[in-house]
Structure 1
Amino acid sequence: MSQFHRLTIKDVRHETRDAVSIAFEIPQSLQQQFHFTQGQHLVLRAHLAGEEVRRSYSICSGVNDGELRVAVKRVAGGRFSAYANEQLKPGQSLEVMAPAGRFHVPLDPARRGQYLAVAAGSGITPILSIIKSTLENEPLSQVTLVYGNRSSASTLFREQLANLKNRYLQRLNLVLVFSREQQDIDLYNGRIDATKCQQLFARWLAVDQLDAAFICGPQAMSETVRDSLRASGMAAERIHCELFLAAGDNRKREARETARALDPQLSQVTLIRDGRALAFELPRNSLSLLDAGNAQGADLPYSCKAGVCSTCKCKVIEGEVEMDSNHALEDYEVAAGYILSCQSFPLSERLVLDFDQP
């Protein structure tokens, strides 16, 4: 899964003024590896001005669409997003990892499901894949989408969502919330905050009857919606969140620097990758295990380095680590010894990590 494959770009479509979607040609030899599940993402790699740049982008295609397409929204100062929006053309190629991620529930054609999806901005990308796939493959299920944007002009996939609404008139409830464009219904104006959630849930949804909720957007919004659903009686295991970027914590970094100065101990670290073992010494409270391993030439997989995408996931075979942030692993995975190496630092004298564990 962590191997890059060079794929040719089949199509580049301008979705809004500051967002494009990119479809890839998948050769027959890679069809199985690039088979995807709704809600998954791709890690893309390019070399820009002599520097390697990796980014994760969610798949926006439905599982029945017959194509593999991601969306890239331009962000301020974003090197890869600017490159994608300004320079990428059909016929060019990018290095791409196979699809990954678990932002979904298995589809069941016999299920009479009730689903809620909440997105803001480019958070609609994996949500669109989930909605399309669910409506097509679960003909008895219903979906409510609450989607926040500044205005209708900035709404990513606006036409596709309108077409889905027309196609599934009785099964898709579409609620567009705009912060800078006035709408006739006051409930649809503003931002998706705690008050808005309370109003929407009270008027539109029987939260306790939802089979699953999918949330994707900024961290603050995602946590607000999650907490509102829990407060309304929804079980935590039915709430699924996907973050594009998590807020950092400078306090932990400062605490590590202080701890290293007071107690400069070394840990003996062994990394298992592709069946080979690499051993080295690492000062505690210095580099993350991901950065330290790659500095030693381990070529460990990664993308976001923010504890969000799970590309750098591995398993602790021996020893103990401290994981600063985790927005990707489930509780049962952590209990089984899995960590995010980009967010983890050694605590024990000896540490063995296995990157080959599924």
Structure 2
Amino acid sequence: QGMFNQLMLGLMTPDYLEREVFCCGPEPFMQAVREALAGFGFDMDHYHQESFQAPAAKEEDIPELEDTVPDEGAMAEIVFAASGVTGHFAETDTVLNAAKTSGLNIPSGCTFGVCGTCKIKKLSGEVHMVHNGGISEDDIEAGYILACCSNPIGRIEVEV
């Protein structure tokens, strides 16, 4: 019950990384599925989808997917402003793992984006965050992220 999320995915199909995924439904549902899979490093070549709308008559009528997902081969720069530490990490690394690798401590609990313990302020840049309710829309609009489920895209600066 509720919106599809990573926690549900892990509980319902623990072997999802070994599967072909076929998804059909309204776009918000399919986007939630894509984000959950991408957030766990699923090979999206094994993801297939069909929408509830009629197929496009012309190729130029096909809408672009607006998912921002970490690029497996791309590197990101994370500036931990309060600590004076800067590091380079794969975009597929989470901010929490990058902090730990850098010898920094961000308090965390569930690591699934549910509890909100790892909420930190993002000062600049873009992240791909797939959370499971551990942060409010107001906090996101105010610049907060959950470090456990946020992947850096390009260069970001956080208040850690």
TM-score range normalised by the length of the shorter chain: 0.5 to 0.7
Q: 1:247 aligns with which of 8, 25, 28?
A: 8
Structure 1-normalised TM-score?
Answer: 0.28
How far apart in 1 are the matches of 2:131 and 2:88?
Answer: 23
The runs of 5 or more residues in structure 2 that have no matched partner are: 11-15, 17-36, 46-70
CA contact (8 A) 1:314 1:353 kept: yes
Q: Measured at CA, do residues 347 and 310 of structure 1 come closer, stay the same or move farther in structure 2, by a change above 3 Å? A: same
Q: Which has the higher contact order (CA 8 A, sep 6+)?
A: 2
Distance 1:304 1:267, change over 3 A: same
Q: Which stretches of structure 1, 4 residues or longer, exceed 3 Å deviation after superposition?
A: 254-259
Residues 294 and 323 of structure 1: CA distance in aligned 2, closer, same or farther (over 3 Å): same
> Is residue 302 of structure 1 aligned with residue 89 of structure 2?
no
- The amino acid across from 1:276 in the alignment is S
Instruction: Tell me how large the CA RMSD over aligned residues is.
Output: 2.5
Map residues 221-300 of structure 1 onto 2, 5 A cutoff.
223=2, 246-248=7-9, 251-252=37-38, 253-255=40-42, 259-260=71-72, 264-272=73-81, 275-285=82-92, 287-300=93-106
Secondary structure (helix, strand or coil) at the match of 1:339 reads strand
Q: Deviations over 1:28-66 (max 9, x none)?
A: xxxxxxxxxxxxxxxxxxxxxxxxxxxxxxxxxxxxxxx
1:354 aligns with 2:115: no
Identity over the aligned pairs, expressed in percent? 24
Instruction: Please state if 1:330 is matched with 2:139.
Output: no
Match 1:343 to one of 149, 152, 155: 149
The offset of 1:254, in angstroms, is 3.4
1:301 Cα deviation (Å)?
0.9
Larger Rg: 1
Q: How many residues align?
A: 107
TM-score by length of 2: 0.58
CA contact (8 A) 2:7 2:132 kept: no
